[in-house]
Amino acid sequence: MDQTNLKASKGMNVHLRRAISYVVLALITVMCLIWFYILFINSTRSHAELTRGFTVLPSTYLMKNFQNVMKGTLPIVSGMKNSVIVSVISAVLCTYFSTMTAYAVHVYDFKLKKFAYTFILAVMMIPTQVTALGFIKLIGDIGLADNLAALYLPSIASPIVFFYMKQYMESTLPLSLIEAARIDGANEFFTFNRICIPLMKPAIAVQAIFTFVSSWNNYFTPALVIKSDAKKTLPILIAQLRSADFLKFDMGQVYVTIAFSIFPVIVVYLLLSKYIVGGVTAGGVKG
Q: Which of residues 221-280 bind another protein (CB under 8 A)?
A: 223-224, 234-235, 238-239, 241-243, 246-247, 251, 254-255, 258, 261-262, 265-266, 269-270, 273-274, 276-277, 280
Considering only residues 1 to 40 of the shown chain, the ones binding another protein according to CB under 8 A are 14, 17-18, 21-22, 24-25, 28-29, 31-33, 35, 38-39
Total residues interacting with another protein, rule: CB under 8 A: 100
Contact at 8 Å (CB) between 151 and 222? yes
Contact at 8 Å (CB) between 137 and 223? no
Binding flag, residue 195, another protein (CB under 8 A) = no
Nearer residue to another protein within complex by CB, 231 or 251: 251
Considering only residues 117 to 156 of the shown chain, the ones binding another protein according to CB under 8 A are 117-118, 120-138, 153-154, 156
Beta-carbon count within 10 A of 190 CB = 11
Listed in sequence order, the residues at least 6 apart from 279 whose beta carbon sits closer than 8 Å to its beta carbon are 206, 207, 209, 210
Is residue 166 packed enough to be buried (19+ CB in 10 Å), middle (13-18) or exposed (0-12)?
Answer: buried
Considering only residues 59 to 78 of the shown chain, the ones binding another protein according to CB under 8 A are none
Instruction: Give me the least distance between CB of 178 and another protein, in Å please.
Output: 9
| N- to C-terminal Cα separation, the chain | 44
Considering only residues 97 to 116 of the shown chain, the ones binding another protein according to CB under 8 A are 97-98, 100-101, 103-105, 107-110, 112-114, 116
Contact at 8 Å (CB) between 257 and 237? yes
Considering only residues 154 to 193 of the shown chain, the ones binding another protein according to CB under 8 A are 154, 156-157, 162, 170, 182, 188, 192
Please, what is the angle between helix 62-71 and helix 251-284, to 10°?
90
Beta-carbon count within 10 A of 266 CB = 11
Nearer residue to another protein within complex by CB, 158 or 231: 158
Instruction: Give me the least distance between CB of 174 and another protein, in Å please.
Output: 14
